[in-house]
Structure 1
Amino acid sequence: MSEPVKGARKLSSANSPVNAISFLVERMLAGTLNTCTLVRVDEVDPDPDNPRVAVTPLVPQIDGDGNTLAPQSIYDVPYSRVQGGVAALIIDPVPGDIGIALFAQRDITTVKLTKSAGQPGSLRTFDQGDALYVGWVLNKTPTVFLELTQDGKVKLVAPAGVDIEGDLRVSGKIDAAGDVVGAGISLSGHDHLSASPGDPTSPPRSAP
Structure 2
Amino acid sequence: MVDQVGYRGTAEATDNGSDYNANTFLVWSILARVRTMQVCKVMSVTNAGGVSPVGFLSLKPMVNQQDGYDNAVPHGEIFNVPYFRLQGGANAIILDPQVGDIGWAGFADRDISSVKATKAQANPGSKRMFSMADAVYFGGILNGTPNQYVAFSSSGISIVSPTQISMAAPNIVLQATEAIGLTAGTQITNSAPEVEVDGQMTQGEGPHGGNASMAGPLDVTNDVVAGGISLINHEHTSSSPGSPTSPPIAGT
How many residues were matched structurally?
A: 189
On the 8 A contact 1:104/1:126 being kept in 2, the answer is yes
> CA offsets, 1:43-85, max 9 Å, x none?
1111833511100111112122222111111111000111111
- The aligned counterpart of 2:47 is 46
Return the index of the structure with the highest Cα Rg.
Answer: 2
Change (3 A) 1:194 1:128: closer
RMSD: 2.7
**Are 2:38 and 1:37 aligned?**
yes
Give TM-score scaled by structure 1 length: 0.79
Q: One-letter code of the match for 2:25?
A: F
Q: Does 1:182 align with 2:190?
A: yes
Residue among 182, 200, 203 paired with 2:219: 200
| Match of residue 103 from structure 1 | 107
Q: 1:27 to 1:132 in 2, by over 3 A?
A: same
SS in 2 for 1:156: strand
Q: Please give the per-residue CA displacement for 1:81-135, whole angstroms capped at 9, x wherever unaligned.
A: 1111111111111111000000011111111112122111112111111100012
Query: Which residue in 1 is equivalent to 2:166?
Result: 163
SS at match of 1:160: coil
User: For 2:111 and 2:119, how far apart are their aligned partners in 1?
Assistant: 14
Displacement of 1:10 in angstroms is: 3.7
Distance 1:95 1:200 in 2: 59
Task: Give the CA deviation at 1:14.
Answer: 5.9
Is there any run of 5+ residues in structure 2 with no aligned partner, and where?
Answer: 1-6, 193-202, 204-208, 221-252
Query: Matched residues in 2 for 1:180 and 1:40: separation?
Result: 42
Matches within 5 A, 1:54-93: 54-93=58-97
Give 1:119's aligned residue.
Answer: 123
The residue identity in structure 2 corresponding to 1:118 is: A
Provide the TM-score with structure 2 as the length reference. 0.67
Distance (whole Å) between structure 2 residues aligned to residue 194 and residue 97 of structure 1:
55
Equivalent in the alignment of 1:191: 213
- AA in 2 matched with 1:71: H
Q: What amino acid is the match of 1:76?
A: N
Structure 1 pair 183–73 and aligned structure 2 pair: CA distance change class (3 A): same
CA contact (8 A) 1:40 1:57 kept: yes
Task: State the AA in 1 paired with 2:167.
Answer: I
Map of 1:137 onto structure 2? 141
State the Cα deviation string for residues 117-164 of structure 1 (Å, max 9, x = none).
Answer: 21111121111111000121110000000112234x210111212122
**Matched position secondary structure for 1:26:** helix
CA distance in 1, matches of 2:14, 2:42: 36
Residues 108 and 193 of structure 1: CA distance in aligned 2, closer, same or farther (over 3 Å): closer
* Map of 2:243 onto structure 1: none
What do residues 152-182 of structure 1 show as CA deviations (whole Å, max 9, x unaligned)?
x210111212122224221224301224202
CA gap of 1:200–1:144, structure 2 versus 1, over 3 A, is: same
